[in-house]
Amino acid sequence: MTDLEKEIEASRARLDETIDQIQGKLSVPNIVDEMLGNARRTPALSGIYDGALEAVRRNPVPVLLIAAGVGLLFNRMARDAERRRTQVSAERVATLNTGTARGYDPDLPTVRPVRDPLEKTEI
């Protein structure tokens, strides 16, 4: 191996190590731990944090049920928002849903046809 290849391999190894360290710092548990640590170090939030933690330790089931309820609420809000977006999109599309087989003219999408093609003709 030449000196250049050895230098490239060493550089790759350092880069891999740096990427691993960054991924470790950006993992969810580390971010949560850092946020909680910051909350404990802040004098105004320290008492609130300790009180909330003690409440969770004393009553884990109610806290779990509350968290599940909040999660379901957010889920429903997201589904309702998606439904509203779908309805708004559907309202923008001009359609004729008043008969079973209506004619469609792309130049006049809201004009009703003169005669229904499936209408029974009596002589």
Q: What is the pLDDT of residues 41-73, one digit of tens each?
A: 777 777 787 787 788 788 888 888 888 999 999
pLDDT at 95 over 60: no
In angstroms, rounded to a whole number, what is the distance separating the alpha carbons of residues 91 and 82?
Answer: 14
Give the pLDDT band (50/70/90) at residue 123.
low
Does pTM surpass 0.75?
no
Alpha-helix residue ranges (DSSP H) falling in the chain: 3-25, 28-41, 43-58, 60-92
Q: What angle do CA 100, 104, 106 make, to 5 degrees?
A: 155
In angstroms, rounded to a whole number, what is the distance separating the alpha carbons of residues 44 and 66?
Answer: 25
Q: Is the separation of the CB atoms in 94 and 109 below 8 Å?
A: yes
**Lowest-pLDDT choice from 2-11, 57-66, 98-107:** 98-107
